[in-house]
Structure 1
């Protein structure tokens, strides 16, 4: 991470992306909740974060990509059930969460964390909780749910994204299938 605040940087994170048809289905399900508080995350931004890096100096991005390319991948497409609606008060978000994270997903996250250690990312989360953010600035109790969420995110690759002015742009991706 950059110690110099004037060095150009990008806000980066690793994630599993959501297929367009799945984004539409999740957005429809969220609409049915008729939420009147919080800010909806645009459907095109739906993803499952693996590891948030934060501000990364431009000079480090190529090395980060090289390190990510060496990560041992599960060797199978990942299937992550998003089967629970949850409100995280501390971060003020409404999320689709996973009742139980699949072991291959946990191994991938751990491998990414280990690969990023040499870059000095100090603010890595203590515990990985797979989720897809539906709403930001959400400070109410859980809404009533007519139909429980039953989504399964399927991924054949993981991606390094840049977050810029509320939009996410893929910078690089790596296959999960060996």
Structure 2
């Protein structure tokens, strides 16, 4: 049986913004609000692919390399909590057209390639805390990060020694 990897396409955050978000999270949420996501794991998933064979991975990368999508700026200015999935998230009030187009193209390509796709609509977000077992107060508006998006990344997700590790496999530049 061919070996498969658990893959997803995502946007990464610059290190400086990751650190600013980590400090904001620590100041904005009580320590018992949930399990914090490590700074290095902060990302915005564009398309979850699930378990993918090496052959299908190569095909997905080839399709992704053909995407023509101009660079855009992502504004992180919204936050919320999903009680059912026990997640506290950071997101955008007005997703830029480029973000929605990129996610739709990647999700469509993945579905056509036979990768599992969530029936849920795309809700661009960055998971800040997991296992948030009770409702918490969400900080009032006023926080804001502008993230220049010049590429997207294919990641492998691995669970090793009780920790989730995301390894970038391929960086794909945006271009008009």
TM-score, length basis structure 1 = 0.88
- SS of structure 2 residue aligned to 1:48: strand
Q: Aligned partners of 1:143, 1:27: CA distance in 2, in Å?
A: 17
After TM superposition, the structure 1 = structure 2 runs for residues 72-91 of structure 1, keeping only pairs within 5 Å, are 72-73=68-69, 75=70, 77-91=71-85
- TM-score w.r.t. the length of structure 2 is 0.89
Q: Is the 8 A contact 1:85 1:149 kept in 2?
A: no
How far does the alpha carbon of each residue in 1:80-125 deviate from its partner, in whole angstroms, 9 at most, with x for none?
1211110011211100021121111111111112222331123334
Name the CA distance, whole Å, in 2 between partners of 1:7 and 1:93.
Answer: 34
In 1, distance between residues paired with 2:60 and 2:83? 32
Measured in 1, the distance between the counterparts of 2:111 and 2:139 equals 40
1:147, CA displacement in angstroms?
A: 6.7
RMSD value, Cα = 1.7
**CA–CA distance in 1 between the matches of 2:123 and 2:108?**
17
**Aligned equivalents of 1:55, 1:67: Cα separation in 2:** 18
- Distance in structure 2 (CA, Å) of the matches to 1:177 and 1:123: 25
Q: Which residue of 2 aligns with 1:51?
A: 47
Residue equivalent to 1:155: 149
1:15-55 CA-to-partner distances (Å, cap 9, x unmatched) read 11100000000000001023313210000111111111111
**CA–CA separation in structure 1 for the residues paired with 2:141 and 2:80:** 14
Do the aligned residues in 1 keep the contact of 2:155 with 2:166 (CA within 8 Å)? yes
1:138 maps to 132
The runs of 5 or more residues in structure 1 that have no matched partner are 1-5
SS in 2 for 1:138: coil
* Contact 2:46/2:107 (8 A) holds in 1: no
1:157, distance to aligned residue in structure 2 (A): 0.3
Q: How many residues align?
A: 171
SS in 2 for 1:109: helix
Unaligned runs of 5+ in 2: none
1:15 equivalent to 2:10? Answer yes
Distance 2:107 2:146 in 1: 24
